[in-house]
């Protein structure tokens, strides 16, 4: 038999090496779970085993996709592959390609802490304009040095444990080619089945959403999935597919994103200033957490808390996404994040409006401010597209402050400096104006200017002192602008783009991960109150602002006017790991696109421990409303119907 070993020589080596990679993927999942243990709750050995079983399916698919070239080179029915040079080349291809995807998994071990989902192909568009990634990655390599060492260890293991086929001289070529053709045919069949996740015609290729089959909570899909699979399965995919839940007539009776003005509307030309505060999650607020620590919790943003006490805010308020690029369309244009960030989809080329775009029709001067490099995160392009005529970024700041040393070394201009620049600029604008600012200092790597080290409470998370720093910058901004003649004629709006660095259990749930403050404030008016019965969301900001001003033109927004909607009719929607979330009344519904999978009394069951699916009388009505929102959203995206034409 030994003289015929070449008939299965490379096949056995191939199988051995693919099993080696599988072992690496399993270790990566263990590392991922250990690093992110606090992000998950109630994990039992049985549930973890179930997730690992599901993970085997997704790992198999990813490994086969990654190694298609290597598999072909090892099984190609040519006897030349049995020589030493050919095998050295295939070994090099094997090590390089698999080490790359292993590093992807290790990197996502850290990135997951900010996004709470596995990275998809959209990441390549998300950061394509960022010139600071080298520095950020360098910082992370130092902060997570042990992951860097693990990457080196994985590379060494792939090199040392690689099973090399013996170099053999082939005889009996007809037999060799016949057997190897059969092996190749079997391998093609197995690879197709492995990549698809099954072998029957009834099995559709598995995708990210299939991970929900193995978990009880959407956030847990991060354990089941792996990053290479998530990227492979989203490359070139159309994110928006219109479901046919209802016919057009019934759809319109359930939900429509079109907002029509009342006949009695009287427009008030107030200035509008919107602050989108980086990572200012609700957990940082003392005002919104009056029950924490037996009523002694102070939070980390005392100035914004003081604004809440003087303005209008809401106990149950949510973001519509989990990234900075989700926040801007939600806050300014009333567009939630479903499936993929709006910025990164073909729908971003649609005609889109915004608070600034609508008010521009009324003669407003409009401007958007962000202290990063112009073009960063696609903010400038989006702002101009939706009606903010002028953009003020790091370029404009440097022009106004030549020779300054206000760059934070990572993202852009320190918030305090940029907020003062913002204040100065606003005082030069012709009224009425609509301006928005996106802050940046409360961003990884969570540093503050040297002169502020030790000034603000640090708590248990590095971001806390940054929240305090930006909150103080906001205080200094208001001390400046409160003396301006336009101040009292201005509506101020505050919210966060998303949450970050949660530490309390109630803020690590699928509800808490989206909990952000939403605040409306006009000095010296009766726009006040703490609405504990109202559910609010970022996409409500546009219709609420326009409603408060008495805007008299129709427009599109997927939110509602919080000042003119009954408390029982307000709602919030968001999307996490293949699951749509719908908050309404007392309940939170989880819907996978086809069926409801969970229902929680989120106001009282703060840890979402009791699934009430099938036990709530209004479940079907909630599901129908959510279906209608999804169907309208997908229709508007695919048919370029985000504005009234």
Task: Give residue for tokens 């409360």.
Answer: 442
Secondary structure (DSSP) of 202-213: TPPPP-GGGGGG
Measured distance CA(70)–CA(20) in Å, rounded: 14
CA 403 to chain centre: 36
Q: Which residues are CB-neighbours of 445 under 8 A, at least 6 positions away?
A: 136, 139, 143, 410, 462
Task: Give residue for tokens 């007392």.
Answer: 586
**Residue 501 burial (C-beta neighbours within 10 Å; 0-12, 13-18, 19+):** buried
Q: CA nearest 238: which of 376, 338, 115? A: 338
Q: Strand, coil or helix: what is 347?
A: helix
> Which parts of 364-414 fold into alpha helices (H)?
379-385, 394-400
Q: CA 112 → CA 197, 404, 576, distances in Å?
A: 24, 35, 12
Measured distance CA(495)–CA(516) in Å, rounded: 7
Q: CA nearest 117: which of 50, 195, 39? A: 39
Per the annotation, does 443 bind a ligand? yes
Residue 171 known to be catalytic: no
Secondary structure (DSSP) of 156-194: HHHHHS--PPPP-----HHHHHHHHHHHHHHHHHHHHHH
Per the annotation, does 590 bind a ligand? no
Q: CA nearest 331: which of 591, 542, 482, 86? A: 542
Q: CA nearest 101: which of 28, 156, 162? A: 28
Measured distance CA(481)–CA(464) in Å, rounded: 26
Tokens of 32: 């991922």
Secondary structure (DSSP) of 106-167: HHHHHHHHHHSS---TTHHHHTTT-S-HHHHHHHHHHHTHHHHHHHHHHHHHHHHS--PPPP
160-185 burial code (b ≥16 CB/10 A, e <16) = eebeebeebebeeeeebeebbeebbe
DSSP assignment letter at 435? E
Measured distance CA(94)–CA(86) in Å, rounded: 12
Q: CA 498 → CA 97, 183, 226, distances in Å?
A: 34, 52, 24
Asked if 634 and 241 touch (Cβ cutoff 8 Å), the reply is: yes
Asked if 112 and 118 touch (Cβ cutoff 8 Å), the reply is: yes
Tokens of 126: 């998300």
Catalytic residue among 230, 285, 324, 511: 324
Asked if 499 and 279 touch (Cβ cutoff 8 Å), the reply is: yes
CA 432 to chain centre: 34
Tokens of 233: 């399965």
Task: Give residue for tokens 């259990």.
Answer: 505
Asked if 447 and 466 touch (Cβ cutoff 8 Å), the reply is: yes
Query: Which residue ranges make up the annotated binding site for substrate?
Result: 443
Catalytic residues: 324
Query: Which residue ranges make up the annotated binding site for Mn(2+)?
Result: 278, 497-498
Query: Which residue ranges make up the annotated binding site?
Result: 278, 443, 497-498
């Amino acid at each position: 038999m030994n003289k015929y070993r070449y008939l299965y020589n490379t096949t056995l080596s191939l199988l051995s090496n693919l099993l080696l990679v599988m072992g690496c993927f399993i270790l990566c999942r263990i590392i991922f779970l250990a690093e992110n243990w606090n992000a998950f709750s109630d994990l039992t050995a049985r549930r973890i085993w179930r997730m690992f079983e599901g993970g085997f399916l997704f790992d198999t698919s990813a490994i086969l996709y990654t190694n298609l070239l290597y598999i072909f080179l090892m099984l190609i029915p040519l006897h030349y592959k049995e020589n030493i040079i050919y095998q050295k080349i295939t070994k090099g291809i094997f090590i390089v390609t698999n080490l790359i995807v292993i590093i992807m998994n290790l990197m996502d071990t850290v990135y997951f802490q900010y996004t709470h989902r596995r990275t998809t192909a959209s990441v390549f568009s998300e950061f394509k304009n960022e010139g600071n990634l080298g520095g950020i990655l360098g910082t992370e390599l130092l902060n997570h040095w042990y992951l860097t060492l693990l990457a080196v260890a994985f590379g060494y293991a792939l090199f040392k444990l690689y099973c090399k086929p013996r170099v053999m001289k082939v005889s009996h070529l007809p037999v060799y080619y016949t057997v190897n053709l059969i092996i190749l045919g079997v391998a093609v069949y197995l690879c197709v089945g492995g990549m698809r996740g099954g072998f029957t015609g009834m099995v559709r290729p598995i995708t990210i959403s299939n991970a929900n089959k193995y978990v009880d909570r959407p956030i847990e899909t991060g354990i089941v999935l792996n990053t290479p699979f998530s990227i492979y399965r989203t490359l070139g995919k159309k994110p928006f597919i219109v479901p046919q839940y209802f016919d057009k007539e019934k759809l319109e009776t359930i939900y429509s994103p079109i907002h029509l003005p009342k006949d009695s509307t009287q427009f008030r030309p107030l200035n509008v200033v919107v602050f989108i505060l980086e990572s200012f999650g609700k957990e940082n607020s003392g005002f919104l957490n009056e029950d924490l620590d037996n009523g002694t919790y102070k939070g980390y943003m005392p100035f914004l808390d003081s604004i809440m006490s003087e303005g209008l805010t809401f106990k149950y308020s949510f973001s519509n996404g989990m990234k900075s690029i989700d926040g801007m369309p939600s806050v300014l244009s009333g567009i939630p994040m479903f499936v993929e960030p709006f910025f990164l989809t073909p729908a971003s080329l649609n005609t889109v409006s915004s608070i600034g775009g609508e008010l521009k029709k009324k003669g407003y001067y409009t401007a958007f401010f962000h202290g990063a490099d112009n073009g960063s995160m696609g903010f400038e392009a989006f702002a101009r597209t939706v009606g903010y005529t002028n953009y003020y970024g790091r370029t404009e700041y440097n022009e106004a402050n030549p020779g300054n040393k206000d760059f934070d070394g990572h993202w852009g201009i320190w918030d305090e400096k940029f907020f003062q620049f913002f204040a100065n600029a606003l005082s030069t604008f012709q009224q009425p104006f609509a301006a928005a600012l996106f802050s940046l200092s409360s961003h990884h790597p969570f540093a503050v200017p040297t002169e502020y080290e030790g000034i603000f409470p640090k708590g248990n998370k590095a971001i806390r002192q940054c929240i305090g720093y930006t909150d103080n910058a906001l205080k200094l901004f208001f001390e400046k602008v409160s003396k301006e003649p336009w101040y009292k004629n201005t509506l101020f709006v505050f919210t966060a783009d998303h949450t970050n660095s949660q530490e309390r259990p109630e803020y690590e749930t699928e509800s808490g991960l989206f909990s952000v403050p939403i605040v409306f404030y006009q000095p010296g008016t009766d726009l006040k109150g703490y609405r504990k019965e109202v559910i609010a969301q970022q996409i409500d900001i546009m219709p609420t602002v326009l409603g408060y001003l008495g805007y008299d033109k129709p427009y599109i927004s997927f939110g509602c006017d919080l000042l003119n909607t009954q408390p029982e009719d307000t709602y919030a929607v968001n999307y996490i790991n293949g699951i749509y979330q719908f908050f309404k009344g007392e309940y939170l519904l989880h819907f996978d696109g086809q069926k409801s999978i969970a229902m929680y009394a989120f106001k009282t069951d703060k840890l979402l421990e009791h699934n009430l699916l099938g036990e709530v009388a209004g479940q079907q009505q909630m599901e129908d409303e959510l279906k209608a929102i999804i169907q309208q959203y997908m229709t508007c995206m695919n048919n370029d119907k985000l504005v009234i034409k």
